Amino acid sequence: MPLEVNEALVKAVAIKEKTIEDGRSLSRKGAYKNTCKSADGTLLWCECQGSTLYKLSVDVAGEKPLMRCTCPVKPPPCKHILGML
């Protein structure tokens, strides 16, 4: 069963509260496009317009989400991923 994407998951994976707020700001600004979800709901992906166009995905099939973003912030989660979630 996939992990449920909700506020509790965002808070569990976030490293800093500011990153959550920055992600919310991106979401409010409408920075996300081409948002998709696999048929079984275990893979989420989209693009986020930041200083460049970032591609990101989150796999929630396992016990811990597997998060990827093309931005330079490592390790994830970055604001782009948290905003998508």
Contact 23, 81 (CB under 8 A): yes
Q: How confident is the model at residue 10 (pLDDT cuts 50, 70, 90)?
A: very high
Strand arrangement, sheet containing 43-49: 32-37, 43-49, 53-59, 66-69
Q: What is the rounded distance in angstroms from the CA atom of residue 3 to the CA atom of residue 23? A: 20
pLDDT of residue 1 exceeding 80:
no
Would you say the pTM of this structure is higher than 0.85?
A: yes
Q: What is the pLDDT of residues 14-55, one digit of tens each?
A: 989 999 999 999 999 999 999 999 999 999 999 999 889 999
pLDDT of residue 2 exceeding 90:
no
Preceding amide of 77 cis, omega within 30: yes
